[in-house]
Structure 1
Amino acid sequence: MSKLSVLGGIAVALLALGGFAYAGEWRHTGVTDGSACVLKFEGAVTTGDAQALELAIERFEAEITKTNQFYYMADYPYDSVCLNSEGGNFAEGVKMAQVLNRAGYGTLVEAGDVCMSACAVAFMGGSYHSESDRGVQPKRALHPTARLGFHSPSLNVPKSQYSEAIVADAYAAALGSIAELQKVADEIRFPRSLLVEMLGTPPSDMMFVETVGQATRWRMIVADVQPVTDVQASHMENACENIDAGLLDEDPREWGFYLVEGGDPYTLRNEGGTEWAGEYTGFRQEAATPCSFYYNARVATDRLHVTNHQGLVELVEWVDLHAYQLFAPETRLTELPVR
């Protein structure tokens, strides 16, 4: 059965941002083993691109199951699409995000590529269906050298046409597109703090994702980071508090380091070769949150996990752990070691 779901109706707002000089296009990459993006989008985001994405996914799934009926039963990484666009129609970006989320496709901005404005909104729809009680999980990744930027939608007012009615219509369209994003924010796991930052950035400016703290808080993956082979207690502290920041949508280090009276709050041991395990006995307010840590540098970064006990009731949350999260929140993405 196809993973693609029916796209919900979303009003098209008349919004645009100067970007690529040519309209966007989805193309099949030819990848059929899950090792890289199966589709790539390049160009400006324009009306109809979300529907084109639906059709491209539909064609890919029909073709791949025709040649390999067991494709979706194999142990492949979940399918992703690559994005390279300076932006365009904001409302269309919202629709693209919803298509990706419902279809269960991840997103990736490759090395040297850009994804800004409406493209960045579409990027946030990247996800995978966990086939477990974890439900749909975010899967949106960028290379350390990629540029991912957000800003508020601009008003599309034709030059020299500044009548009160035209401006009022453009303003209503802008508000409408923001409302549509807010409607689907929970569905696509668009963090509230990112929405605030985006809306606080004027259309003439751009807020780029530049640090480990930003990426991890907003549940993004920084791909192709060199695995850490000599894990220290500081790496475990970074990982646990970075993961916690994403679960709570708060800045890492919000509660600061809490020293357990009478001893070291860490236990970290090498399980042999590239495997490490340990516990961070408590952090956040009154050391209410312990964290169990496991890391294997030989395993693909998107398959690592941290078990994070949330609060005094110890609700266990399994969360994907990635190599970049072992670094301090203030580390710039361009400073991360690349494989």
Structure 2
Amino acid sequence: MKEFLAFICSKKILSAAALSLSWTLGAGAADIELLAVNPVFGPDYTLLDLGDNNAVNPAWAGSYEFRYARQTPAVDSAYQRPSGEGWNEEDGMYLGEGGGSYEMMHLQMAWPTLQSSRVIKISGSINPGDTERLKALVQATGFSVCSRENQCPSNNTISLNSPGGHLAEAIKMGVYISVQNFSTLIEKDAICESACSLTFLGGFTNYEGFFFPRRYVHETAKFGVHRPYFELQDGSYSDDVVKQIVGVVNETVTAATTFLLKVGVGANFLQRMYNTPPEQMYRLSPLELSTQRIFVLGRDQRISNLTRRQIFAHCATIYLSEYSKMNPILLANLQTDGSSFITFIPGNNFICAGAKSVASNTWYSHICVEGNCGVSSGLAQFGQVEMSYTDIPDNSPVWDVAVAVDVLGPGAGFREFRHRSVLLKYVRAYADSNNFRTLREMPAAALQTTMPQAYCGEIDGFDPGLVLNVQDLLNRNGLNVGRPDGAAGPNTRRGIRAFNKTALGEDSEKVDIEFLAALGASAESFAGFQLCP
């Protein structure tokens, strides 16, 4: 980081003639103060578990959940057993000091450290010189005393409430925050947009080859990004000056990208930033934030009702964060029945599933991606062996799913049963087998997710309501798919494939606007099944 900091601090970047590189222009220096009270307390500041793999909840860090993607009861402290409960193997491995990796120990302490830390708050536009002012306050107050270079205490936090400011200064401040091992925080109802986002992302630690995020955003806060821009003073410029300006712009944008890659955000974060015009702002939802190694704080409110569209937005957002692209199969494989759901990508071994607990009237989810679907996913491992301990009858078709998963793996195994009710029964059986303990409760913040733009305009072709119409029209077109029931089983999918082949010359099960129009469906009949209408 030192050489990168030197580059950012160079005169060439900070003071190019006639050029102002900004994300949001602001007059005057930011307000920087040491708070008398840590704001992270009370029911509004609960650490939410949004179920994404990139931002592991520190509350579960030393447990079975952290290593194997399974939830465990909350613990009193980093090294204690669950409150009021006996310990058993399924509860997780609560390790004493020296019993875990650097990564475990850092994550275990992240949340209690934030709650007990001293806090410096930075408010207003970030401008040149603000990093030096922050350094001066840190030194004057004894806010942080490092034993040696890169050996700084982790019990200090920088709270940000800023619309943005000077790009290079924001990066410089973010680098300083990282070097000092500070956590970063965006409080309830605060904003951190534009250049401020770079400063905030400096809240991380690299230690012994491990990356530890120390970044916290309240669910009501606004965290926004857009493309950097520059302003020129009025006047005429020679070719040499224009070349210098272009060079500075290119180098600064490159510096911003380099910084973003160092702070552990994904490629999709860069896409959102550079695809958003300077005059607009892309605000990340709590779920999107959690996919960028950012912890989300808020009220611990649970979800009792979920629509099919909300389910897909949830799953698609997580998939997009992992693979930075849209995959139409994710929508085509979506299956819901009001009390459970699943969608998956066989090739990527991506699974997004969930079920509703009747006892608690709460939705739970299970997410796994390529790295853990076959090895540590409880849903994938819930095959013939684990099912043998349940009361599922031997003649139940759920056993067929278990056999397919054991033989083919979760992705390919599920593919054999897509859009058959037995697949959702398998999800339900898995959830019921251990009273939902191996799934994660879905906090209400998970619903604050908009449909990924890449899917807008797509038809949810296997929504039961639309399938009813399609089945009726297929029968009218001479393709007997049986009595319309809203379930896209094998007969219905064969009929869809046959019609696609004869009417459109495509050998596929795709249900889109062209297919529906050729089938004779009116635009009004499928308008409600189009995403982002």
Runs of 5+ unmatched residues, structure 2: 39-112, 148-152, 357-364, 378-439, 453-533
Matched, 1:41 2:140: no
| Residues 164-313 of structure 1 aligned to structure 2 (within 5 Å) | 164-203=239-278, 205-209=279-283, 211=285, 214-228=288-302, 230=304, 242-250=317-325, 255-256=330-331, 258=333, 283-285=344-346, 288-290=349-351, 308-310=368-370
1:8 shift after superposition? 3.4
Q: TM-score, normalised by structure 1?
A: 0.64
Aligned mate of 1:24, from 30, 35, 42 = 30
SS of match in other structure, 1:27: strand
2:442 and 2:184 map into 1 onto residues whose CA distance is 16
1:326 and 1:106 map into 2 onto residues whose CA distance is 23
Structure-2 change in CA distance of 1:254 and 1:162 (3 Å): farther
Partner in structure 2 of residue 330 of structure 1: 450
Partner in structure 2 of residue 93 of structure 1: 170
1:287 and 1:51 map into 2 onto residues whose CA distance is 47
RMSD: 4.7
| Residues 316-327 of structure 1 aligned to structure 2 (within 5 Å) | 323=443, 326-327=446-447
Partner in structure 2 of residue 83 of structure 1: 160
Partner in structure 2 of residue 118 of structure 1: 195
Partner in structure 2 of residue 275 of structure 1: none
1:177 shift after superposition? 0.9
1:188-213 superposed Cα distances (whole Å, 9 cap, x missing partner): 0233233233233443x022305456
SS of match in other structure, 1:30: coil
Structure with higher Rg: it is 2
Amino acid at match of 2:242: V
Q: Is the 8 A contact 1:218 1:249 kept in 2?
A: no
Partner in structure 2 of residue 314 of structure 1: 374
SS of match in other structure, 2:223: strand
1:259 and 1:197 map into 2 onto residues whose CA distance is 25
Structure-2 change in CA distance of 1:44 and 1:54 (3 Å): same
Amino acid at match of 1:308: C
Q: TM-score, normalised by structure 2?
A: 0.44
1:23 shift after superposition? 0.8
2:347 and 2:35 map into 1 onto residues whose CA distance is 51
Q: Is the 8 A contact 1:44 1:87 kept in 2?
A: yes
1:54 shift after superposition? 4.7
1:286 and 1:166 map into 2 onto residues whose CA distance is 52
> Which has the larger strand fraction?
1
Partner in structure 2 of residue 277 of structure 1: none
Q: Is the 8 A contact 2:178 2:202 kept in 1?
A: yes
2:305 and 2:14 map into 1 onto residues whose CA distance is 49
1:123 shift after superposition? 2.2
1:24 shift after superposition? 1.8
Amino acid at match of 1:82: S
Amino acid at match of 2:164: G
1:228 and 1:252 map into 2 onto residues whose CA distance is 29
Structure-2 change in CA distance of 1:84 and 1:168 (3 Å): farther
Partner in structure 2 of residue 152 of structure 1: 227
Structure-2 change in CA distance of 1:128 and 1:181 (3 Å): same
1:41 shift after superposition? 1.0
1:286-327 superposed Cα distances (whole Å, 9 cap, x missing partner): 5823469899xxxxxxxxx9773525873659xx99835532
Bigger drift between 49-58 and 228-237 goes to 228-237
Q: Is the 8 A contact 1:85 1:116 kept in 2?
A: yes
Structure-2 change in CA distance of 1:183 and 1:328 (3 Å): closer
1:321 and 1:47 map into 2 onto residues whose CA distance is 44
Structure-2 change in CA distance of 1:132 and 1:285 (3 Å): farther
SS of match in other structure, 1:178: helix
1:63-89 superposed Cα distances (whole Å, 9 cap, x missing partner): 9x9xxxxx96xxxxx753221223222
1:266 and 1:310 map into 2 onto residues whose CA distance is 27
Runs of 5+ unmatched residues, structure 1: 66-70, 73-77, 269-279, 296-304, 333-339
Identity %: 17
Q: Is the 8 A contact 1:306 1:321 kept in 2?
A: no
Q: Is the 8 A contact 1:50 1:95 kept in 2?
A: yes
Structure-2 change in CA distance of 1:232 and 1:211 (3 Å): closer
1:164 shift after superposition? 3.5
1:221 shift after superposition? 4.5
